[in-house]
Each structure stands twice: as structure tokens, then as C-alpha cells.
Amino acid sequence: MLSEQHAIHGDMFRIRLCGSDQVHIADPHLMESVLRQEGKFPVRPPFNSWKTYRRVTGTPLGIVSGEGPYWKRVRSALNEKIMRPRPVLAYTGQLNGIAHDLIHKLRRLRDTHGDEGLGKILSNEFYKWSMESVGSVVFNSRMGCLGDDMPQRVQDFITAIDEMMASSIPIIAFDEWHRRLNSKYWRRHKEAWDKIFEISKAYTDEHILSMEKRIEGGEAVEEKGELLSYLLASRKMSRPEVYANVTELMLAGVDTTSNSLCFIVHLLATHPEVQGRLQEEIQDVLQGRPPTANNIHNMTYLKCVLREATRLYPVVTMNCRVATEDMVIGGYKVPKDTIIVMNHHAACRNQEVFEDAEAFRPERWLRSEANHKAHPFASLPFGFGTRSCVGTKIAKLELYLAISNMLQQFELKPIEGMVLKPHLRTVLTPGNQVPVRFAER
């Protein structure tokens, strides 16, 4: 991994890879220097295979793959609904309901498959929870991901995302070459994207039809909470742009949040003292009730647990930029068009950056912690600045609600003989199993 390269070459080194100069940094001071120099339109290294697929199929770019003024326009439209605190907190009730359904599903699976059986499929179940949550925000309706008779297209969507991510790696630097040869890797990649867009478009069209019927009935749909109705009613995007952005929101939001929840429950199961302290806070604040927005605001340790878990297991292990002009980083001149790779995974596990860096210690993030001295740019699980994750507030709310509801019902324990084996597949995943046992409280 790149963390090993930093151990050999230091906090900053340059390599030439696939015809491009890259500067890799793992020092938070240098990361801050890069991010503070961002222009109006920060540029990330392109997902070449994503862009090639869009070009070949005539599909617009979205919030993840777009750049420049187009990206800024799309970002501004989405910010209105999912980056402002008040609209985000309005989703608390429906996300609580989804968390409750997840708990019931976990019980059923535990009772029918046993603890080990559940551990082997837990990441997929969390994926369904995350998809249900994102779908609820986008469409203001339930997709049925957590029911016993889950629609087949939900699993097809999940499978297609996994295949798209996995097939991105073999063609990451030579996507055009693979496309021209129509290699098996390109075919896999294109077929996965075709399925992703097909399913996302079907859900979107169904919602549009429902919205049109509501309009015919005299309903002011722009006042509804769902994101899609707002985008359509506001006319801030064309219909093809809406399709593209709904698709990218769903695939980006589902993959990252579900993997984060896997790592969190694993860490809580293997650190009973942390789980006990968190459970006490949840009991004191909630008194057995479903969490509200005000409750979440008052649960300081819960926020520390999320922050510490994403430090140890950042789903997005690195943050990348393309220098839009000549820059000076750490006293070195970095020419325009250089790819800058900020390795947060390496920084987060560096003993010089975090004391006892390999330990899971959520209390390190408490303001009262005397020895808290970590640089604020060392751990940026949701990115920074205008190019940060557009779904940050939604993702955090989903995780806070899922964890607090879960710990009211279950004591999380490790499964003996099962081991977590994280796997990097574009994003960091927990691998094939999550060894967590859900014992009744």
C-alpha cells in the first residue's frame, strides 16, 4: 500500500505513473497547504473510465465526476437540500424508521442464519440499509431494501455497483485502450454502468410519474422534502442531468456509508469499554426513546466514536487534486497539472501525528482531552472545502441514528474465529465478513 511507500520515502515523494507526475504527501501540514491553495473550481484526478462511459453513451457527468462551472452549478443545486442543517434534520424521522427496520432484519437473519452466518452477509445487509436511506432522501419513498421480499432490482443495483468499482481498477490508466479493444474488463465495466443507470432511471421515472399525478391533484411538490422533487420543480438541472446526478448520489452514498457502519460496529464489538461508555450516553440522553435531532446534538461521545472510527478506517483513504497552477508545497515547486495525492490513511496511523495511533480511543476527540493535539487536516474522512462530500451531513445523520438505535437493542460482541480483513476496492471495504455478534440487551 501507499502507506508502506511513505514509510520508506517519507512524508512527501514524487513518482511518475502512467505518464503523469504525482506528488504523494502524508503530512497534514502539507495537506493543509494544498487545500488552502484551491481555486474556485478544485480539480480531482478524473475517473477516466467513468468519463469514457459517459462520452460513449452520451450521458452527462454528475456531482462526483463533473468539473468546472458545470460541477459548481450542480453542487449549488444539491447544497440547498442536503448540505444545509435544517433541511437535513428534517429527514430524522424517516431515517429512524429505516434504522428500526434494520434492527428487525438483523434479528431475523441472526435467528435463521446464526451469528457466523450473519457475519458473512452483514456488509451486504448494511448496504441495503444505506440504499434504503439514500433512496428515502432522494425519493421520499421506501424502496423495500430491508423487507423479506426485497425487489430483485435492489440486489442487482448493489451487485452492479460492486462490479463497476472492481472493474475500474484493471482499466484505471488505460480505459480508452480497453474500450477500443472491447476487452473483457471494459465489457464488465460498461455492463455494470448500464445496469446502474437502468435501475436508477427506473426509480427516477417512477417518482416523476408520481410527482406529475400529485401536481395534477393540485399539490405543491416543491414544498415536499424529497430531493428529486425539489430538483425537478426548481429546473436547476435538465432531465438527463437529473438522471446522472441521482445515479451518482446513490452509488456514492450507498457504498461509503455502509462500509463505515461495518467498521464502526466491528470496533465497538472489539472494544467493550468504549461500547459501554457510548451505551451509557445513549441511555442517559434517550431514555429508551428514538433519537431526535436535538438528542444527536447532545451526544458528544457518539460523535467522537464516529470520528475515531473514520480515522482508523477512512473509507476514502486518500484525497486527490490536480494542480491548476504552479504551487509551492513544503518548499518544493510543484508544476501545474501535477496530481497531488494526500494519503489520509497514512497520516491517521502515524505515531507522530496521533498519539497511540493504532488504538481506538474516541475520547481523544473530546475538547477536554489534555493531550489532544492532532492536526485538523490529518483526518478528513469527508474531504474539505467546496469539493468535500456533498452528502456529509446526511451520511453522519444516518450513522448516528443507526448506531444509537442499534445500541439500545443490542450488545455488540466479536465472533470467535472470524477475522476482519479490510480490502481496498476503490474505497476501503471490510472484506468478505464482519465478525460481529448481535446479542440482546
In this structure, CATH architecture of domain 47-309+391-406: Orthogonal Bundle (1.10)
Q: Which residue type occupies 303?
A: K
Q: Is the pLDDT of residue 369 over 80?
A: no
Query: Which residue has 465526476 as its cell numbers?
Result: 65
What is d(CA 373, CA 268) in angstroms, rounded to the nearest whole number?
24
Global confidence as pTM = 0.92
Q: Residue 15 forms beta bridges with which residues?
A: 22
What is the model's pLDDT at position 28? 94
Question: What is the arithmetic mean of pLDDT over 184-213?
Answer: 92
Higher pLDDT, 403 or 426: 403
For residue 14, which of 38, 35, 30 has the smallest C-alpha distance? 30
Across all residues in the chain, what is the average pLDDT? 90
214: confidence class by pLDDT, cuts 50, 70, 90: confident
Residues 124, 102 contacting (CB under 8 angstroms):
no
Q: 231 or 205: whose pLDDT is higher?
A: 205
User: pLDDT tens digits, residue range 271-291?
Assistant: 999 999 999 999 999 999 999
Q: How many residues does the chain have?
A: 441
Q: What number of other Cβ atoms are within 10 A of residue 123's Cβ?
A: 18
Question: What is the pLDDT confidence band of residue 178, given thresholds at 50, 70 and 90?
Answer: very high
Q: With pLDDT > 70 as the criterion, what percentage of the chain qualifies?
A: 96
State the pLDDT at residue 222.
Answer: 53
Domain ranges (residues) in the chain? 47-309+391-406
Q: Which of 116-120, 200-204, 215-219, 327-331 has the lowest mean pLDDT?
A: 215-219
Rounded percentage of the chain residues whose pLDDT exceeds 90: 61
Mean pLDDT across 126-155: 90
What is the pLDDT at residue 196?
A: 95
Instruction: Give residue 201's pLDDT.
Output: 94
The Cα 45–Cα 59 span in angstroms is 19
